[in-house]
Every structure is written in C-alpha cells, then in structure tokens.
C-alpha cells in the first residue's frame, strides 16, 4: 500500500470499526479533502484512534478499545456521541468537521483530561413479574444508571471477536441474538447486563409509533439518521428506505442520545399502503426484528428470570426472522412453562437465544409470566422421561434432520 511520509502536523491514527470498503473510502478521504491532518499507522504507534460507532457491534468495539487505549478518540457516527476523551464527527463526514475534531484530539494529547469519576455501584434490577420498565439513565441502553464514563469502566462478558469465531454460532444467531456469552447469565453478579429498557431503544419508539398510528393514521419516526420511518398500523405496513444494517445499528443505540421524534403525518394510510413501493415492509416483521435487535440477548428491565414463561400463542415462525431453537423454546413454553434460565438449561441452548426470543414474543403479547406457584411440575428429567416421547425420539431426530432442522 502506498504510504506518505508523515508531516509534523499529522497525527498518527489507527482505524477501528470499518470494513475493508469503508476503510478504503476513508483512506481516500484522508488523502484528499482531509489531506495533512492524519496518517494511518498499523504498527501500534498511533496517537489517536478513529472509530466508526454505527455498527451493531459498536458497544463491544468501544469497550474493547477503551480497555487497550485511553488516549483521544475521534468518533464517526450518524448520531451525536458524548464519550469521555472522544470527539464526535457526524456522518457523512465533512472535512471541516473532521479537521475540527482532529484539532481537539491534538489538544487533548497535549492536555490529557482528568481520569473519569467512578460512579457508585449499580444494584441489579429486582426481578418482578411486571414487565414495566423502570426509569434508567445513561447513554447505553444496556447499562441502567450508568453514564458513558461508567460504561467505559464496566466489566464485560461480551465475547472478543476471535472467541466468537470459535463458537458454534452461525451468522443467523449473531444477527438476531447478540453475542453475550452464557457466563453472563450464570454469574449472579453480572445480572444487570441481561436487562435493557425498551423505552430507551428503537423498540420503545416503534411501539409509540404503532400506538399513535393505530389511533390516528400514519406515524412518522424522525431522527434516525437520514432515513424516516413511516408506520401505518391500519394497513399493516412500514415504509422506510433504511437499509437493514443501518436499522440494526440504530437498534443498538440509545434513543435518548439523539433527538428522535414520533408524530402523525397528513396522509391516508391506504394511499401509502396500496403502493408497490419496495420500501414497504410488513409491520409484524419490523416489530419482530426491532425487538430482537434491541434485545440482543437481553430482556426488558423487571422481567423475572425464574418465573415460568407460558406461551399464549405461537409466533408466525415461517414469516419472521429466524431465531435459533425458536421451535423448541415455543414448544416447551406451550407444554411446560419454564423460567428463562431454566429453559436454556432444559433445552441445552445458549441463553441469549431464549432471552431474545422471549423479548420478541413479548412484543407480540405471545408470552406471559406465571407466578411460581402456578408452575407445572417439570424438570429436565420430566422432559426426557416421558416414555411416549422417548420411544419416538430417534425417529423424530431423523425426521428433523431430513427436514433440514439445525
């Protein structure tokens, strides 16, 4: 690769969070409109890091980065970011704004900021039957009562990329259920990581738009980067030019960090709904995806992890984004209501699939938490001990393999 000699004014930078194509484009930007501001280095001698924080993995990337690097960071994102010792540049990146952020980073190198103030410890949420989310603060929806500074210091059980590669996790699973490791679920100290506040995610905003639309017509969500989202509950459609990767990224960020608004527009739902516009998507599909991508292996704050979950109705699995093991989880909850943690253990499936699936089903009103006393007596042994079931397990296993399950 062609490299220029570094001038005295250029900062040595490292790039994080960009794929090959994005990196090439950004390199062209540095060689063109932003020439003279930075030079990319790959030998670990960087003074500043430039990170793209719009990917679905961005919370993990940020945590990983901050564990290794405490210097100034230039953050590229479509939404405003307030992170410690970091300087936000709005995407699409303009040379003028980028140069300003680089200048701030340079100043920060000369005058490093004081160490972040340590916040008091956070109590894990009290599990109650109600799924009503509590009020939380902070910018990251996964961390109730934590500020961005606390987020940087927080321990994490999210898996490093290399570790994930070695796991039995296909792309489908990563796409829909996040990457929390099972250890996050089994360690009582890490329980707060298992909860999120839907009201601070796109899920909450989308529900609000659904409600508004059901009452009065077409609702518009604005503030999600350059893509508005129109919701027409009466005609069962959503219209948006938003690409799916962008939608996933939006689901991963907190809605209180940027001015997102929901309002009604003066438009007949049928006019939009009858269109052949390729931007039209099914309302239920969109709710399902937003639920999964907002959840990423977590459940709404306040959800009991032990109360038995009863399935009130099966989700329309053939028409919804696939969640690994959703059939087995549904069948268990339909026949033997089981707690969230217990479900994963009984079926021997990763916890994050169970948690994500629960959150999506809850958005559709398809699950309910029972009181413990209502638990139908059942255990792992019960599931496998019924003679009628056992005698056909071999056949069923072969048949499922034939049908392409797994």
Q: Which residues contact 63 (CB under 8 A, 6 or more apart)?
A: 151, 152, 154, 156, 158
Q: Are strands 261-265 and 280-282 parallel, antiparallel or unpaired?
A: unpaired
Least distance CB 67 / another protein (angstroms): 38
Least distance CB 207 / another protein (angstroms): 17
C-alpha 299: how far from chain center: 12
Q: Decide: is 82 part of the binding site for another protein (CB under 8 A).
A: no
Select the span of 59-67, 223-231, 297-305, 397-405 touching another protein (CB under 8 A). 397-405
- Do residues 50 and 14 lie in contact, with contact meaning Cβ atoms separated by under 8 Å? yes
Least distance CB 383 / another protein (angstroms): 4
Q: Decide: is 401 part of the binding site for another protein (CB under 8 A).
A: yes
C-alpha 144: how far from chain center: 15
- Residue 224 vs 283, nearer CB to another protein: 283
Q: Decide: is 334 part of the binding site for another protein (CB under 8 A).
A: yes
Among 198, 346, 355, 360, binds another protein (CB under 8 A): 346
Among 135, 186, 335, 372, binds another protein (CB under 8 A): 335
Least distance CB 138 / another protein (angstroms): 36
Q: Decide: is 332 part of the binding site for another protein (CB under 8 A).
A: yes
Select the span of 44-52, 91-99, 136-144, 308-316 touching another protein (CB under 8 A). 308-316
- In a 10 Å sphere around its CB, with 0-12 CB exposed, 13-18 middle and 19+ buried, how is residue 327 labelled? middle
Select the span of 41-49, 137-145, 247-255, 332-340 touching another protein (CB under 8 A). 332-340
Farthest-apart Cα atoms in the chain, separation: 78
C-alpha to C-alpha distance for 239 and 405, rounded to whole angstroms: 33
Site track for another protein across 231-260, x = CB under 8 A: -----x------------------------
Q: Which residues pair with 220 in a beta bridge?
A: 230, 263
- Residue 169 vs 383, nearer CB to another protein: 383
Q: Decide: is 271 part of the binding site for another protein (CB under 8 A).
A: no
Task: Tell me the C-alpha to C-alpha distance, in Å, between residue 374 and each of 267, 333, 335, 343, 366.
Answer: 48, 13, 13, 16, 18
Among 330, 356, 359, 362, binds another protein (CB under 8 A): 330
Least distance CB 385 / another protein (angstroms): 10
DSSP secondary structure code for residue 367 in this structure? E
Q: Please work out the total of residues on this chain that contact another protein, with binding judged by CB under 8 A.
A: 39
Residue 180 backbone phi and psi in degrees, to 5: -65, 135
Q: Decide: is 275 part of the binding site for another protein (CB under 8 A).
A: no
- Do residues 45 and 19 lie in contact, with contact meaning Cβ atoms separated by under 8 Å? no
Site for another protein in 354-383 (CB under 8 A): 383
Q: Decide: is 405 part of the binding site for another protein (CB under 8 A).
A: yes
Among 29, 69, 227, 314, binds another protein (CB under 8 A): 314
C-alpha to C-alpha distance for 233 and 93, rounded to whole angstroms: 36
Q: Decide: is 289 part of the binding site for another protein (CB under 8 A).
A: no
Two tokens at 165?
A: 């590669």
| Closest C-alpha among 252, 126, 124, 251 to residue 189 | 124
Task: Tell me the C-alpha to C-alpha distance, in Å, between residue 91 and each of 17, 98, 201, 336.
Answer: 14, 10, 21, 49
Site track for another protein across 193-232, x = CB under 8 A: ----------------------------------------
CA atoms within 13 A on the CB side of 12: 11
C-alpha to C-alpha distance for 262 and 139, rounded to whole angstroms: 20
Q: Decide: is 319 part of the binding site for another protein (CB under 8 A).
A: yes
Among 114, 162, 165, 395, binds another protein (CB under 8 A): 395
Least distance CB 401 / another protein (angstroms): 4
CB atoms within 10 A of CB 334: 13
Q: Decide: is 274 part of the binding site for another protein (CB under 8 A).
A: no
| Closest C-alpha among 76, 71, 75 to residue 45 | 71
Question: Which residues form the interface with another protein (CB under 8 A)?
Answer: 236, 311-314, 316-319, 327-332, 334-336, 346-347, 383-384, 386, 389, 392-406
């Amino acid at each position: 690769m062609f490299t220029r000699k570094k001038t005295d004014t250029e900062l040595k930078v490292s790039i994080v969070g960009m794929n090959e194509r994005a990196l090439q484009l950004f390199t062209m930007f540095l060689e063109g409109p932003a020439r003279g501001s930075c030079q990319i280095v790959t030998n670990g001698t960087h003074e500043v890091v430039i990170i793209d924080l719009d990917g679905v993995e961005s919370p993990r990337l940020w945590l990983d980065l901050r564990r290794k690097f405490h210097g100034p960071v230039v953050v590229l994102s479509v939404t405003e970011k307030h992170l410690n010792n970091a300087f936000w540049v709005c995407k699409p990146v303009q040379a003028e704004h980028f140069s300003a952020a680089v200048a701030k980073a340079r100043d920060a190198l000369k005058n490093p900021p004081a160490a972040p103030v340590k916040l008091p410890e956070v109590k894990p949420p009290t599990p109650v039957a109600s799924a009503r989310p509590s009020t939380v603060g902070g910018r990251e929806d996964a961390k109730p009562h934590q500020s961005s500074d606390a987020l940087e210091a927080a321990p994490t059980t999210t898996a490093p990329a290399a570790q994930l590669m070695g796991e039995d996790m296909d792309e489908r699973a990563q796409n829909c259920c996040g990457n929390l490791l099972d250890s996050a679920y089994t360690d009582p100290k890490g329980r707060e990581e298992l909860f999120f506040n839907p009201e601070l995610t796109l899920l909450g905003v989308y529900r609000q738009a659904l409600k508004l639309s059901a009452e009065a017509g077409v609702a518009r969500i604005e503030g999600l980067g350059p893509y508005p989202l129109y919701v027409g509950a009466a005609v069962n459609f959503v219209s948006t030019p938003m690409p799916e990767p962008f939608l996933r990224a939006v689901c991963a960020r907190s809605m209180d960090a940027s001015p997102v608004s929901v309002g009604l527009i003066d438009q007949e739902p049928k006019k939009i709904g009858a269109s052949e516009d390729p931007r039209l998507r099914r309302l239920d599909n969109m709710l399902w995806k937003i639920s999964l991508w907002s959840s990423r292996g977590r459940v709404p704050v306040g959800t009991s992890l032990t109360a038995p979950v009863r399935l009130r109705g099966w989700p329309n699995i053939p028409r919804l984004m696939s969640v690994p093991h959703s059939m087995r989880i549904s069948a268990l909850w339909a026949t033997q209501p089981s707690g969230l943690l217990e479900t994963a253990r009984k079926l021997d499936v990763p916890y994050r699939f169970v948690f994500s699936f629960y959150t999506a089903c809850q958005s559709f009103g398809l699950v309910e938490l029972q009181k413990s006393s209502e638990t139908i007596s059942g255990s792992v042994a019960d599931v496998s001990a019924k003679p009628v079931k056992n005698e056909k397990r071999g056949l069923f296993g072969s048949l499922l393999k034939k049908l392409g399950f797994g």
